Structure 1
Amino acid sequence: MLAGGGARRLGGADKPGVRVGGRSLLDRVLAACSGARTTVVVADPRPTSRPVSWAREEPPGGGPLAALDAGLRLSTAEYAVLLSADLPFLDGPTVDELLTTLRTSTVDGVLLTDADGRDQPLVAAYRTAALRRGLAMLAERHGALAGLPLRRLTGALDLTRILGPVASFDCDTWDDIAAARARIREHGHVLDEWISAVKDELGIELDVDTGVLLDLARDAAHGVARPAAPLTTFLVGYAAARAGGDQEAVAEAARKAAALATRWADEDTTDATPAQPADGQSADKQSDAADTTPGGAPDPAPASDPAPGTRPDAE
């Protein structure tokens, strides 16, 4: 991952550290490639949400080819995913698609193209042998890699392209940062973004079925009480962690809690409706029958209270 640029279009700001959706751009990209065996970031070391290895190009600020060469020195993998540190919408499935396409082909690399069809060589997967071979040739031809543009390397490679306008969106300007921040708060994205941010913050790798948990929260809120929703989902998470903490544990705990919420709500419904007699008699007729004497005749009407100031036997 190349994270040591000067960010001139951001006025020299620390671009990898700029936050989008509560997470730095660097941490967002690291989350997308969490399955990597080795993660190398070419930049000055800084705190990150995930452990990484650090490298620095020679000389510092020497450009993308020098940075790539420095990063490859810390890896022995057959395939390398090459990323910039300013991709707010890159996700794991996109990284997997790049690698799968590369592994099932004979090309040197697979890269994304943006909405205008332009190549994005810093959102790509390459065969490391092809990268090392190309870097060695350029170093021999030019004497050094510093200052050379990335296209000197990628232009000589056999590449496959995949359209990826969202995943390849990079933040070069403050307008780009503003657009990224606005997008993650849109109705269709905010929940997934928030869940991803929380998992990253807490160090949780679990794929959460948000639909199941939202249904549970709704049942608890409607069938019990509104505050029951967050408390119930918390308890489900706690129970799932004690049961192993995997996706099946969450699903089972949620199922049990949802069933309980349904039983709780059903009690109000069943108790509010009196049972009907088997022969179809109305509740009033049942009541009349209950007031008869053992012999079957109705109880005599109670005597009226005497008027004030009179004896009971007075006429």
Structure 2
Amino acid sequence: MSFDGVPFDAVPFDAVLLAGGRARRLGGADKPAAPVGGRALIEWVAAAASGAFRTVVVGPPRDVLPDAVRVREDPPGAGPVPALRAGLAEVRAPWTVLLAADLPFLRPVHVAALLDAAAGRAGAVLVDGGGREQWLAGCWRTARLRGALGSYTGASLRGVLGPLDPAKVALPAGERPPWYDCDTPEDLARAEGLARPDAL
């Protein structure tokens, strides 16, 4: 596959990983640093976007991803829209891959599929097995994203991203769906059980 005739490894994108939040359902634990399959969740997500020119992590300091650009939303814990604004301020590439930091089964091929679907559009968003948009798994034209954020006064990602009319990308699920996120201790335990070394 290619993106507008350009090989994927040459597509100019930066990755913004939203890695803040309060993780209430995990008792306030640092969810992005939680281990699955021997790596922190955020490391899996960064690896999925390994083709990025730069990786921007929005969240508190951690002893992982030392080469990433690190920023905080203002105030910390204010939500995904302020976090996106903080991360986008550090983006230099014409495309932005926006990802949650708790997707242990997202892989580079999934990011490539999003970029492929976004060609000729404002962006593309992953949809889950029920057809629901996963707003923290998508890619966007940086200029369009900045324009949308500039005029947006709401608090939901759906509110700012939905009007951009992104392509919706449905991918095969298998037993490790790329949209699987880890919000609870049970989610983490299930992800660990699915993260067999021969499948990673």
Amino acid at match of 1:115: G
Q: Deviations along 1:199-248, whole A, 9 cap, x unmatched?
A: xxxxxxxxxxxxxxxxxxxxxxxxxxxxxxxxxxxxxxxxxxxxxxxxxx
Q: Give me the whole-angstrom Cα distance separating, in 1, the residues matched to 2:99 and 2:115.
A: 13
The structural deviation recorded for 1:32 is 1.0
| Bigger shift: residues 6-15 or 156-165 | 156-165
Equivalent in the alignment of 1:175: 186
Larger helix proportion of the pair = 1
**Normalising by the residue count of structure 2, what TM-score does the alignment of the two structures yield?**
0.86
CA contact (8 A) 1:30 1:50 kept: no
Equivalent in the alignment of 2:67: 51
Any idea what SS the aligned residue of 1:62 has?
coil
CA contact (8 A) 1:29 1:90 kept: yes
Larger strand proportion of the pair = 2
Larger radius of gyration: 1
Equivalent in the alignment of 1:121: 135
CA contact (8 A) 2:128 2:179 kept: yes
Any idea what SS the aligned residue of 2:81 has?
helix
The structural deviation recorded for 1:50 is 5.4
Amino acid at match of 2:157: L
Any idea what SS the aligned residue of 2:96 has?
strand
CA contact (8 A) 1:80 1:128 kept: yes
Matched length: 180
Q: Give me the whole-angstrom Cα distance separating, in 2, the residues matched to 1:49 and 1:132.
A: 25
Equivalent in the alignment of 2:28: 12
Unpaired runs of 5+ residues, structure 1, are 194-315
Any idea what SS the aligned residue of 1:4 has?
coil
Unpaired runs of 5+ residues, structure 2, are 1-16
The structural deviation recorded for 1:14 is 0.7
Q: Give me the whole-angstrom Cα distance separating, in 1, the residues matched to 2:43 and 2:100.
A: 12
CA contact (8 A) 1:82 1:123 kept: yes
The structural deviation recorded for 1:192 is 3.7
Equivalent in the alignment of 2:14: none
Equivalent in the alignment of 1:64: 80
Equivalent in the alignment of 2:43: 27
Q: Give me the whole-angstrom Cα distance separating, in 1, the residues matched to 2:28 and 2:57.
A: 19
Any idea what SS the aligned residue of 1:155 has?
helix
Equivalent in the alignment of 1:313: none
CA contact (8 A) 1:29 1:87 kept: yes
Q: Give me the whole-angstrom Cα distance separating, in 2, the residues matched to 1:180 and 1:36.
A: 25
Equivalent in the alignment of 1:132: 146
1:160 and 2:167 aligned? yes
Aligned-residue RMSD, C-alpha: 1.3
Q: Give me the whole-angstrom Cα distance separating, in 2, the residues matched to 1:16 and 1:76.
A: 24
Q: Give me the whole-angstrom Cα distance separating, in 2, the residues matched to 1:18 and 1:95.
A: 22
CA contact (8 A) 2:113 2:169 kept: no
The structural deviation recorded for 1:4 is 0.3
| Bigger shift: residues 35-44 or 151-160 | 151-160
Equivalent in the alignment of 1:307: none
Q: Give me the whole-angstrom Cα distance separating, in 1, the residues matched to 2:62 and 2:188.
A: 21
Q: Give me the whole-angstrom Cα distance separating, in 1, the residues matched to 2:70 and 2:186.
A: 30
Q: Give me the whole-angstrom Cα distance separating, in 1, the residues matched to 2:194 and 2:60.
A: 30
